[in-house]
Amino acid sequence: MGERNTNPQFLHRKFRDLNTSPEVEAIVAREVATVEEPTAKQTRTKDLIPQKPETRIQTYLNYLKECISIEDPRKRAEKLARIKQVLREKYVIKPKDVPESYWTSIRRRHREEGHGEIEIPEEQKTELASDIATEQINSLDGWIDYLASPDAEYPDWFKYYAIRSVLRLNKFDKEKKQFTERTKGTVSPFPDLNRDALALVCDALVKRQAGTELDLGYDITAEDKQQFQQYLQQENFAKMYAWAMEHFNPIPEELLKKTTGEWRAYPKGSDPTQLTRGISAYSTGWCIRGEATAARYLTHSDLEVYFSEDQDGNPNIPRIVVVRRDNQTQEVRGVAHQENLDPYISGVVEQKLTELPDGKVFEKKNQDMKQLTAIENKIQKGQELNRADLVFLYEIDSAIQGFGYQKDPRIAELRSQRDPKADAPLVFDCEANQIAWGQNEITENTKAYIGPLFPNIFQILKHLEYLYTAFPEGRIVRNTIDIGGQTKEELQAEMKRQNIQIYGYAQSMLDSKDFTTAKKSEPADLVRLKVRDFNLPNPTTENIYRKAEELGLELCPAEVGPQYRLQYTDQPSDEYLYIAMKQIADSDGSPGVFGLGRVTDGLWLSRSWAWPADGWYPAYEFVFRSRPSTKA
């Protein structure tokens, strides 16, 4: 596996300029500067820099792997954000580069639709150019997020090869069955991410390098096979990826409606070809389509796949994959967009979850998907949604959870068909005039507030159930938890008993003399705010803390970190929280605050750096304590 993971020779062969590129030069020089000091014979840093291309490339790959493997979720997000920003600046189209031919095509289409000749105002051009750039950014970020995720069990060299290849590709031409080359004036998004196709390309390259024959896993013509082998010989990503996309069969809707079938087990250490051949006839979106990736999974996990019946009544249609590691369920994936469950299979999943020891962890996801499908069916039939439907769709009581890699796209699609302002009175079970859309509209009859934050808002509107900075995306979550009454040793023992993972730096903070607990138990009213809620031009730690104080909030006692971790057991997997607290120095001497999150193997308590001048991204979420009204 070592050669598969570290294959700088392949990248040097494909990208001859890589080892001398500015990004590689900078990382290699940085690594040398931090590891080694010049000797008497090596008086210049340049003398220490390795010159062998493969060594330089591997150093760069090691750096990229380090960036996406950082333990601290905030620091990892910051590293990824920097990588994205560099790629955006270099590869996403600038408004001035939108070609005149694009505006000409809009005018021509407008004329052909019978609307006559038009001129496009400059402000509209600016708006349209911004939309083009946004679509390119979203499509590019999708590739980066996936390749940087634990789900993408590909070799490091292949991840680099894939993303660099994608950066050169225009949209897929369905008639020519190929990708065209991107130019400076390309207005289309980057290619769609197809995990099936990507896994096959990786598998083909890994097997070619190992000198083993590629088994495509399903019947294809000799001509098709010869064509793919030609592309493989050329190591041409665009042609291999296009070929794979064309030769994967989507599961027809009529077959999705059939849910009777059987489960098949693929135990850890078993032959990966049995798995890949079983699922290869149809497009699932699973990266285990490639034998190399399937082999990686089976080195540490047990897999089960549910196959529903095909048109002949044979269980051959892959629908669900369950991944378990060390007797814990890691993933439950479906074949819908982004590996979500398709709308027909939830009953099979529900039965399976009753058989898994930790199935209850996934029960909410299954129920949420069933309810979302029911609402989708209502809207398609033109039926009115009731209050329960809207409360669910707008995620009033809790976030909608799914089984996929990302949030189920149906949520945004269904919301886009609604008028939130018209729905709000039904959601909040009140009259329209009982919703204050700003501080000046607050009356004694107000039942919900939607608007900017203002001083002491949490004391003045403490009685209101619904507080929003914007509806529905700006919900302000408030909780009351119990703190105190336990020693730090008892807290840590309880977290261990509940299988909560405590990361190293967080452990050093718990062990610090500055971490203390209150002897007497008391309630703590907590308020969660996203950084964007503060509306600060420079959202540093210091500025956020100062603004929160103006709003009637105060810093949490440090023990809120582990206490909230213990009491917040149903945290969604895509949510990260940071405890607003007086910083505690970690084992490196850096000021830190506690972070809360969930990964596939359960809940965790981590640490995030929080220097006073550190900046925070708008989507980051802090937990503060509400100051008692008597102190307001």
Cα separation of 435 and 471, whole Å?
11
Say if 172 falls within a structural domain.
yes
pLDDT digits (tens, 9 = 90+) for 62-79: 989 988 888 777 778 888
Whether residue 481 is found in the same domain as residue 623? yes
Whether residue 194 is found in the same domain as residue 234? no
* pLDDT-based confidence at residue 216 (cuts at 50, 70, 90): low
Say if 606 falls within a structural domain.
yes
Whether residue 177 is found in the same domain as residue 219? no
Cα separation of 594 and 555, whole Å?
12
Residue 339 Cα distances to 164, 322, 618, angstroms: 24, 12, 28
Whether residue 110 is found in the same domain as residue 246? no
Six-digit token pair at 416?
């886009």
Whether residue 192 is found in the same domain as residue 322? no
**Domain end point (choices 418, 448, 463):** 418
DSSP summary character for residue 340: P
Say if 12 falls within a structural domain.
yes
Judge whether residue 467 has pLDDT over 70. yes
Six-digit token pair at 538?
């420079």
Q: Name the maximum alpha-carbon separation found in the chain.
A: 82
Whether residue 322 is found in the same domain as residue 412? no
| Predicted pLDDT at 45 | 45
- Which candidate, 169, 247, 168, places its Cα nearest to that of 201? 247
What is the sign, positive or negative, of the torsion defined by CA atoms of 270, 272, 278, 284? positive
SS3 track for 462-496: CCCCEEECCCCCCECEEEEEEECCCCHHHHHHHHH
Cα separation of 277 and 274, whole Å?
5
Cα separation of 9 and 53, whole Å?
8
Say if 457 falls within a structural domain.
no
Say if 366 falls within a structural domain.
yes
| Predicted pLDDT at 629 | 66
Q: How many folded domains does the chain comprise? A: 4
Phi-psi region of 94 (alpha: psi -120 to 50; beta: other; left: phi over 0): beta
Whether residue 198 is found in the same domain as residue 217? no
pLDDT digits (tens, 9 = 90+) for 421-431: 999 999 999 99
Residue 159 Cα distances to 187, 331, 348, 381, 470, angstroms: 25, 22, 34, 44, 38
- Which candidate, 525, 515, 610, places its Cα nearest to that of 75? 610
Cα separation of 251 and 301, whole Å?
26
| Predicted pLDDT at 112 | 66
Full domain range(s) for residue 120:
2-209
**Domain end point (choices 418, 443, 463):** 418
Judge whether residue 106 has pLDDT over 60. yes
Say if 277 falls within a structural domain.
yes
Cα separation of 71 and 529, whole Å?
23
Beta strand 302-309 with 261-266: parallel, antiparallel or unpaired? antiparallel
Judge whether residue 8 has pLDDT over 60. yes
- Can you tell me which residue has the tokens 């802090």? 622
Whether residue 18 is found in the same domain as residue 161? yes
Phi-psi region of 575 (alpha: psi -120 to 50; beta: other; left: phi over 0): beta
Judge whether residue 406 has pLDDT over 90. no
Six-digit token pair at 90?
């270099």
| Predicted pLDDT at 69 | 85
pLDDT digits (tens, 9 = 90+) for 274-309: 998 889 888 888 888 888 788 888 999 999 999 999
Q: What is the CATH number of the domain that holds 580?
A: 3.10.100
Q: Would you say 166 and 158 are in contact if contact means Cβ atoms under 8 Å apart?
A: no
Helix, coil or strand: residue 380: helix
Average pLDDT on 609-622 reads: 91
Going through 223-283 in order, the beta strands assigned E by DSSP cover 261-266
Cis peptide before 455 (omega within 30 of 0): no
| Predicted pLDDT at 631 | 41
Whether residue 132 is found in the same domain as residue 229? no
What is the sign, positive or negative, of the torsion defined by CA atoms of 161, 165, 171, 177? negative
- Which candidate, 489, 622, 462, 484, places its Cα nearest to that of 552? 462
Say if 313 falls within a structural domain.
yes
Average pLDDT on 86-114 reads: 83
Amino acid at site 149: S
- For 112, the enclosing helix (H) or strand (E) is helix 100-112
Whether residue 498 is found in the same domain as residue 564? yes
* pLDDT-based confidence at residue 42 (cuts at 50, 70, 90): very low
Say if 469 falls within a structural domain.
no
How many residues comprise the chain?
A: 632
Cα separation of 626 and 526, whole Å?
6
Q: Would you say 433 and 444 are in contact if contact means Cβ atoms under 8 Å apart?
A: no
Q: Distance from CA of residue 218 to its chain's centroid?
A: 32
Greater confidence, 625 or 56? Answer: 625
Average pLDDT on 456-461 reads: 94
Judge whether residue 244 has pLDDT over 80. yes
**Domain end point (choices 155, 179, 209):** 209
Q: What angle, rounded to 10 degrees, do the helices at 53-68 and 73-91 form?
A: 120
- For 232, the enclosing helix (H) or strand (E) is helix 222-234
Contacts (Cβ under 8 Å, ≥6 apart) of 623:
526, 527, 528, 556, 560, 564, 577, 578, 579, 580
Whether residue 225 is found in the same domain as residue 194? no
pTM higher than 0.75, yes or no?
no
Q: What angle, rounded to 10 degrees, do the helices at 488-497 and 560-567 form?
A: 30
Whether residue 166 is found in the same domain as residue 68? yes
Going through 174-327 in order, the beta strands assigned E by DSSP cover 178-181, 261-266, 302-309, 315-325
